[in-house]
Chains A and B, each alone.
Chain A
Amino acid sequence: MRSVLPILTVLGAIVVLWYGATVWLNAQWTYDQAARAGVEVSLPEVVTDTLSQERPVLPAPHQVAGGLWDGLLGQKVTSKRSLVYHGWVTLSATLLGFAIGTGAGILLAVGIVHNRAMDMSVMPWAIASQTIPILAIAPMVIVVLASLGITGLLPKAMISAYLSFFPVVVGMVKGLRSPDHMQLDQMRTYNATRGQMFWKLRLPASMPYLFASLKVSVAASLVGAIVGELPAGASSGLGARLLSGSYYGQTIQIWSALFTAAILAALLVMIIGVLERRTLKRMGMVR
């Protein structure tokens, strides 16, 4: 709790800097307008004007908050202007992709741990693939799947799944290998089969690693879903909101979509954090 004050100070400083930047960046437009109208503007007028422009270069925090409030609560949930609606579209793709990617990742990790040939041939590629900018293929996946007749949720979910896949593989392989020699020998003295060794030792021991990589991969799959909405054609979702906002210069729309995405990411990571704490506590592994 002693870090609450510093955090609030930092957040306060960010808001102050933000207001300063708003005035600085938007002042040009105000001066231009005033020059066109042939009037002189005083400094207080400039400040009030910069904080309430229709299409500012940088919207002020209260404008973004207003946009968020309007988008989240001011509209009917089914409306095209509602951020809840767009957030839900993105969230459903994220969750589907996250489930697919995590499931496949865990399965591959189990295979890698139990099969030496698989370990030696697949693992280097799994690690190398982390250095590749995978997001670059997002537009292609969408278009190719659309030409095969697959549209809607699934293509976006595939990108999410792909992004969340590798962190889980790498984390789970580490986790399933985390039991040390002593513990493995103990299982052998109990005459445990490979299956028992997996269910009773390796899988429980891997839980902290699993949760750590789940946090990374849920954030990655949200990014995947948003980027998956960027290519032409998507009309709903936070990514589409970002894109249409950038086409029409609606900066407030961009910023409120961005903050919705941030809130969503924070919520997802937080939910996994709560699950992690509960699970590890019940398993007696809280450090």
Chain B
Amino acid sequence: MSWLWGAVIFWLAAWAFNVWLAKQPVARTRMVRLFIPGLFGVTLLILWEGIVRGLQVPGVILPAPSAIWATIWASLAILREDFVQTILKGALSGYVIGCGAAVLMAIAIDRSPFLQRGLLPVGNFVAALPVVGIAPILVMWFGFDWQSKAAVVVVMVFFPVLVNTVAGLAASDRMQRDQMATWSAGYGQTLLKLRLPAAMPFIFNGLKIATTLALIGAIVAEFFGSPTRGMGFRISTAVGQLSLDLVWAEIAVAALAGSAFYGLVAGIEKAVTFWHPSQRGRR
């Protein structure tokens, strides 16, 4: 029991420290802004460990963080194989194809207001649908390997990016477009020098939403059939064998990959849209 009480006391102490720290003037500095959520995360892990050890929760229900950590180190090879199969082959290739196709499609329909009025409501509608449901169909069509996962990802990311890009292409205002016209810029020049740059904040908004969707699509598609590797495959089989520490290890890798992917896209956004007010404000 001492584990449990120790963890609870530590949690309360850390919480009190956070409350105290948040009221101090130093709370405005960047260091403390990172430190407070970091401490909160650590306390959660310690509380988790304390509960599991104190109440002697069996490992098939909830493994302790230390056990998960040990599993991660012990099965690095498996995790890496799954990472390559699911994230690099399935999610990433699907993401690139889907987002590229969506941006090109948006530029194509941008010239026709008729198509825009027709496609946008349909696109908005499809973006709200449970698109993961088409995973079994695409697995049937494209086989069990990563191609079918990439296809699911393409379908999942296509509509959010399309809708956002179309909205972005309409974002430059009339004055700016008139200015381009007075310089006698052609359609291509206006597109490249004014409208695409002006659309970038919107496009990146869509791209950021799509990162999470891509990972979800790639993992869930593996529940419907996959070769004997991949994160979704490993999760569903490890659950069947009740080796939950391996499941949690996969989840940790997925979470890390998801955050890194999102961070990468957000970093590119920062570099591309440095001129936008939302980026200039944060220094």
Is the C-beta of A193 less than 8 angstroms from some C-beta in chain B? Answer: no
Whether the pair B40, A132 counts as a contact (CB closer than 8 A) is no
Please provide the chain B residues from 101 to 159 with a CB less than 8 Å away from any CB of chain A in the complex: 114-119, 121-122, 125, 128-130, 132-134, 136-137, 139-141
Whether the pair B133, A131 counts as a contact (CB closer than 8 A) is no
Question: Which residues of the partner chain B approach A124 to less than 8 Å between Cβ atoms?
Answer: 37
Select one of A3, A122, A222 contacting B40, CB under 8 A: A122
Q: Name the CB-closest residue of A to B238.
A: A140
Whether the pair B231, A144 counts as a contact (CB closer than 8 A) is no
Interface residues on A, range: 35 or more
Whether the pair A131, B117 counts as a contact (CB closer than 8 A) is no
Interface residues on B, range: 35 or more
CA distance A136 to B234 in the complex (A): 11
Is the C-beta of A266 less than 8 angstroms from some C-beta in chain B? Answer: yes
Q: How many A-B pairs with Cβ below 8 Å?
A: 170
Question: Which residues of the partner chain A approach B37 to less than 8 Å between Cβ atoms?
Answer: 120-125
Question: Which residues of the partner chain B approach A6 to less than 8 Å between Cβ atoms?
Answer: 114-119
Q: Name the CB-closest residue of B to A120.
A: B36
Q: Name the CB-closest residue of B to A216.
A: B128
Question: Which residues of the partner chain A approach B227 to less than 8 Å between Cβ atoms?
Answer: none
Q: Interface with B: A200-208, A243-251, A278-286, which one?
A: A243-251
Question: What is the 8 Å Cβ interface bit string for chain A, positions 129-154, against chain B (1 contact, 0 not)?
Answer: 01111111101100110011000000
Q: Interface with A: B17-25, B174-182, B193-201, B274-282, which one?
A: B17-25
CA distance A246 to B224 in the complex (A): 8
Q: Name the CB-closest residue of A to B119.
A: A10
Is the C-beta of A86 less than 8 angstroms from some C-beta in chain B? Answer: no
Is the C-beta of A165 less than 8 angstroms from some C-beta in chain B? Answer: no
Q: Which residues of A contact B (CB under 8 A)?
A: 2-3, 5-11, 14, 25, 57, 115-117, 119-125, 128, 130-137, 139-140, 143-144, 147-148, 215, 219, 222-223, 226-227, 230-232, 238, 242-243, 245-246, 249, 251, 254-255, 257-258, 261-262, 265-266, 269
